[in-house]
Amino acid sequence: MEIIKIVILSISGLLLIYGGISRISSPVKTYMKNSGIKIENEVNNLSEARGVSSVMALGGVIILLGIFIPQLTITSFVVAILILLGFAIGRILSVIVDGKPNKLLIQGIFSEIVLGLTNVFCLVNILF
């Protein structure tokens, strides 16, 4: 089970770091490429995009630290669950309220749910 925990934390952390850094460094290009979202090159939009992206990247760092620092493992799973399932819940709410988004965003919902639930599984396994 230890290897599975390491793999899940690694995938979760690296994906969030990669996604966060990509969006921090080039939000207009990255949003268009990864999700088909066109954000205007306007200071307020860029600030919001970079703010959320930094939370993603730093959350990824905390998640990875749980691999190397045993005292942070539970915290790492909790952070992964909050970020991944938080995004998924928000996107599902948006589907209900706003309508169906493009295919890339739908794929994102499913990957966030799957990865979020695997983190829940690992956390439950640690606690019980």
Give the torsion sign (CA, 68, 69, 74, 75).
negative
pLDDT category of residue 15 using cuts at 50, 70 and 90 = very high
What is the tens place of the pLDDT at every residue in 59-96? 999 999 999 999 999 999 999 999 999 999 999 999 99
C-alpha dihedral (114, 118, 121, 122), degrees to nearest 10: -170
Global confidence as pTM: 0.92
Helix (H, G, I), strand (E, B) or coil at 68: helix
Gap between the Cα atoms of 86 and 103, Å rounded? 20
Query: Using alpha carbons only, what angle is made at residue 109 by residues 22 and 33, rounded to the nearest 5 degrees?
Result: 35
